[in-house]
Structure 1
């Protein structure tokens, strides 16, 4: 009799996990370059068939039934999660140190206390030393960082800063309108986006990041733009309402199991006794 109660409880836990993901997406709806996360909730019949296909015993045997009971739960469960890396809307800004990447799968490289990390948030600024940094204070890395181990710096006389679509930085010659090449932005493209691990501060960790090479001709850098979050707020609110209703449904099912059905069973047993 408690099977239904446990199934409802398991279903509720699944929806609570889904709520956490939805809430995190909504909290970052205005975060530059944020990529939404999604969970895949498996339906019981598909999971049952997958478990049945792994049976080492006949499907109609007691051993087969025992195997299924051990490996299956009778409630929806999260079977996978993924990040949607599609490009968010490009918003024009008045800051020449704002950059956006117009192609999916490309990232800026930054230096953190934990090592090199990747980010899609190109809202950069300069620190007191003239170094190009993120809003969190991490140094933005140039394409030759692996050899030079240096960041991107500007002189106080650099009144003009231009960056082309490949990330090449141009600065002015003092007392002249002529431009000269400075560093070039490190534009990274991981072989597989599945290898990226989200961290705080809108950063991504990659295990073999030291083997990454900067793309020479990305053609994706947009100066004076910021990429907004790709979270669809309306879609997330719809999922939030749907998930809250499912939580309520599971709660009601648990109450029915504990209060009504158990009470009825106890009364019947008492009458027979």
Structure 2
């Protein structure tokens, strides 16, 4: 069997994987806090048909070798954590992070999830929660009569309780950051979780110690560049077509060989 068939097959599978990532990016171009991702590839092992630097029968040394690569494979997903655009919503419970950091939320199993989606809501008990009902940490429970909720750049959450004109401070939002945010595990629902690759979270107050500041009344939109994704899609399609053409050419060569 010609090696080119298997090499081109691996190329088609790799480009299909890249197209899967592009499709996912485009599908989430309107998702709050979404971070675009692309597949990362590496070449497969080589068949070493002639070793570089080997001695020949004439006593000379080969300056080059002869190696045949066996194709390509996807090995990782590279996620870009660059800042998305801030979109004004005029909703007092919407909060965007300007800079580094993640909001911390309590998952149903008691573990902590991390998100950049700050489109928060209140549940039936007055708790500040995500769109999926996950409680925002360290925990914010507003009384029924609370009005004029204010979230400062430093994460301080306060409200008014009529008829008292003095704001009452509830809690302060803490952000978390990671040495390697690319190592976080995406779980869907705009949630990431800690892994050994990401390292442990480093928590801190917004707008201090390299943590981003908070912007009330805004949400962070997806950082997907639609034009860039469309260009990458065209490149992926052309690469897929070229690999399929290599398979067709190998098949034609085998047919010629069978006719001899």
TM-score (structure 2 length as normaliser): 0.85
- Whose helix fraction is larger, Structure 1's or Structure 2's? 1
- Report the Cα offset of residue 214 of structure 1: 3.2
Alignment of 1:124-203 (within 5 A): 124-142=120-138, 151-203=139-191
Helix, strand or coil at the partner of 1:207: coil
* Alignment-derived partner of residue 145 in structure 1: none
Helix, strand or coil at the partner of 1:24: helix
- Report the Cα offset of residue 189 of structure 1: 1.5
- Report the Cα offset of residue 207 of structure 1: 3.5
Whole-Å separation in 1 of the counterparts to 2:118 and 2:30: 14
Alignment of 1:2-151 (within 5 A): 2-42=2-42, 59-61=52-54, 72-73=69-70, 75-104=71-100, 106-114=101-109, 115-142=111-138, 151=139
When residues 217 and 109 of structure 1 are mapped into structure 2, their CA distance, relative to the original with a 3 A threshold, is closer
Helix, strand or coil at the partner of 1:178: strand
- Report the Cα offset of residue 169 of structure 1: 0.3
Helix, strand or coil at the partner of 2:248: helix
Whole-Å separation in 1 of the counterparts to 2:163 and 2:115: 35
- Report the Cα offset of residue 174 of structure 1: 2.8
Helix, strand or coil at the partner of 2:236: helix
Helix, strand or coil at the partner of 1:118: strand
Structure 1: where are the runs of 5+ without partners? 143-150, 269-273
- Whose strand fraction is larger, Structure 1's or Structure 2's? 2
Whole-Å separation in 2 of the counterparts to 1:40 and 1:207: 19
When residues 67 and 98 of structure 1 are mapped into structure 2, their CA distance, relative to the original with a 3 A threshold, is farther
Which residue of 222, 227, 232 maps to 2:215?
Answer: 222
Helix, strand or coil at the partner of 1:177: strand
Structure 2: where are the runs of 5+ without partners? 56-63
Whole-Å separation in 2 of the counterparts to 1:30 and 1:120: 14
- Report the Cα offset of residue 41 of structure 1: 3.4
Which residue of 237, 253, 257 maps to 1:265?
Answer: 257
Whole-Å separation in 1 of the counterparts to 2:167 and 2:180: 37
**Size of the alignment, in residue pairs?**
245
Structure 1 residues 123-149: Cα deviation after superposition (integer angstroms, max 9, x where no partner): 00001111111011111112xxxxxxx
Whole-Å separation in 2 of the counterparts to 1:222 and 1:91: 10
1:232 is aligned to 2:228? no
TM-score (structure 1 length as normaliser): 0.81
Structure 1 residues 55-99: Cα deviation after superposition (integer angstroms, max 9, x where no partner): 9x963559xx99966xx52x3443543110000000011210000
Which residue of 225, 241, 248 maps to 1:248?
Answer: 241
Structure 1 residues 164-215: Cα deviation after superposition (integer angstroms, max 9, x where no partner): 1011101113312210210111211123213311111111111379964531
